Amino acid sequence: MNIIRMPLSLRRWALVLFGFSALLLAVLLPARAVERSDAILVTEIKGAIGVAATRLVADALVKARQENARYLVIQLDTPGGLVTATRDIIQHILASPIPVIVYVAPGGARAASAGTFIVYAAHVSAMAPGTNIGAATPIEMGGLPGLPRPTEPKRDEKDKAASPPETTAQRKALNDTIAMLRSLAQLRGRNVDWAEKAVRDAATLTAEDALKEGVIDVVARDLDDLLLKIDGRKVTINAIEHTIATRNAARTTFHADWRTRLLGVISDPNVAFILMLIGIYGILFEFWNPGGLVAGVIGAVSLILGLTALTTLPVQYAALGLIGLGVALMIAEAFAPGLGILGIGGLIAFVTGSLFLFDPAAADIDISVSLPLIIAAAATTGALALLVLGAALKARRRPALTGAEQMIGSIGEVVEWNGLDGRVRVHGEIWSARAEKQFAPGDTVLIVQREELKLFVTSR
């Protein structure tokens, strides 16, 4: 029998390849094993509920599927937020293929307004000691932010608690919100009656009271305590019952990416308003001083960011148009100065548009531009208009330095003269001249008018 022998060089290469493959497997396999053991993904929502929070929850659920995580824990601390964003988050939770655990923490945190809905939507809800939940009444029930609530007829406390809202629109908003929270309570088997009280009467509960009332499932000191207490609980997903197994499970923290964080920053109404104003001012400065580029670039970037932020907020476009009109009128007053009608009208339009820029009915918290910021922006815009007006008036009083008007008021010297016509030297140039009297060579004259290439002069 013949035995095929490999050349020595090939055997060496085969050994090298085998060793490299073994090393590669030794490095990759433990990493993949650790990835599979990360059964819990933990993320955090802190602050107002908006588009950034919706994006965070959606991205976290995608990451959980990619890493084959079995549970998503959302640590929550919020005063409320946009109605549309809240509904989107609830839809993500209800459609989640894995259990979503909402944990109101740390101590001192709250799940107010929109946070109450998110807690009720969770497969498992928990709170830390020293936290609270509730006050889910829509903010439009109290009128526009910053304005007094309409007066109500006097009634005793019993009648007042059962009284309907003042208008049909308010009644519809209240009933819709109540129905939404009641449906979540029925779906998760939580306290339905208190859900209605949280909306109708803005009721609130501490963590311990919420546990007694059946609003939440667990009160836990920290995340470790939470995972220990919910171990063995049963939840239903797509009509299938699942038993939670979180004891000693590994967990991974999920942080928002830079785009989500940026969106969260610029989605603040005050930040969006400032970015929009910087954009308008920057572009105007570029028009006033062409070629500088810096103001134009900063203005364009700020305006795009501001408009991007406005797309994530409940903007009233009529109010946005008033702001643009107000800025245009105040600038027009600088270029066409009159009795101040344009400037006053622009200031009124600017302030009015800023006050009503955002729709309060689209959020359960006060979403509006702060009044001090509006006053400061209006004063800044008015000051800029006055600055441009002053510069224009100063330039108008300044003598002309170029063109035909430059010659008016200049002093010339008579070179030669015959009758009423002659020639004079002005700024080193010889010009034809005419006057109503006789001059002699060497006399100084004052130029009073110019017609094409002829000057009209008089005695100095």
Query: What does the pLDDT average to over 138-150?
Result: 45
What does DSSP say about strands 100-104 and 421-426: parallel, antiparallel, or unpaired? unpaired
Q: What is this structure's pTM?
A: 0.68
Residues 381 and 423 in one domain: no
pLDDT computed for residue 249 by the predictor: 87
The answer, yes or no, to whether residue 15 has pLDDT greater than 80, is no
Say how far apart CA 138 and CA 180 lie, in whole Å. 12
Q: Fill in the amino acid letter for 442.
A: G
Query: What does the pLDDT average to over 410-419?
Result: 86
Say which residues have a Cβ less than 8 Å from residue 432's Cβ, sequence separation at least 6: 421, 422, 423, 453, 454, 455
Whether residue 11 is contained in a domain is answered as no
Query: What does the pLDDT average to over 126-131?
Result: 96
Cβ(358)–Cβ(369) under 8 Å? yes
Token duo for residue 255: 């942080």
Query: What does the pLDDT average to over 175-202?
Result: 93
Residues 28 and 105 in one domain: yes
Residues 320 and 371 in one domain: yes
- The domain tally of the chain equals 3
Residues 214 and 77 in one domain: yes
Higher pLDDT, 131 or 397: 131
Q: Give the CATH number for residue 80.
A: 3.90.226.10
Residues 219 and 308 in one domain: no
pLDDT computed for residue 104 by the predictor: 97
In total, the chain counts a number of residues equal to 460
Average pLDDT, the chain: 80
Residues 187 and 289 in one domain: no
pLDDT computed for residue 129 by the predictor: 96
* Domain that includes residue 307, residue range: 267-397
Residues 341 and 381 in one domain: yes
Residues 348 and 421 in one domain: no
Whether residue 298 is contained in a domain is answered as yes
Q: Give the CATH number for residue 427.
A: 2.40.50.140
Residues 388 and 445 in one domain: no
Whether residue 178 is contained in a domain is answered as yes
Residues 272 and 187 in one domain: no
Last residue of a domain, one of 215, 233, 259: 259
Whether residue 176 is contained in a domain is answered as yes
Q: Fill in the amino acid letter for 365.
A: I
Whether the link from the prior residue into 106 is cis, omega within 30° of 0, is yes
pLDDT computed for residue 450 by the predictor: 81
* DSSP sequence for 5-46: PPPHHHHHHHHHHHHHHHHHHHHHHHHHHHHHHEEEEEEEEE
CA atoms within 13 A on the CB side of 303: 13
Whether residue 13 is contained in a domain is answered as no
- Lowest-pLDDT range, 136-140, 289-293, 398-402? 398-402
Say how far apart CA 451 and CA 394 lie, in whole Å. 27
The answer, yes or no, to whether residue 157 has pLDDT greater than 60, is no
pLDDT computed for residue 153 by the predictor: 44
Last residue of a domain, one of 220, 236, 259: 259
Last residue of a domain, one of 344, 377, 397: 397
- Lowest-pLDDT range, 188-197, 265-274, 388-397? 388-397
Cβ(105)–Cβ(127) under 8 Å? yes
Query: What does the pLDDT average to over 170-193?
Result: 91
Whether residue 8 is contained in a domain is answered as no
What does DSSP say about strands 100-104 and 71-77: parallel, antiparallel, or unpaired? parallel
Whether residue 332 is contained in a domain is answered as yes
Residues 196 and 326 in one domain: no
Residues 191 and 338 in one domain: no
CA 206 from centroid of its chain's CA atoms: 32
Whether residue 4 is contained in a domain is answered as no
pLDDT computed for residue 159 by the predictor: 47
Query: What does the pLDDT average to over 202-228?
Result: 95
The answer, yes or no, to whether residue 290 has pLDDT greater than 90, is no
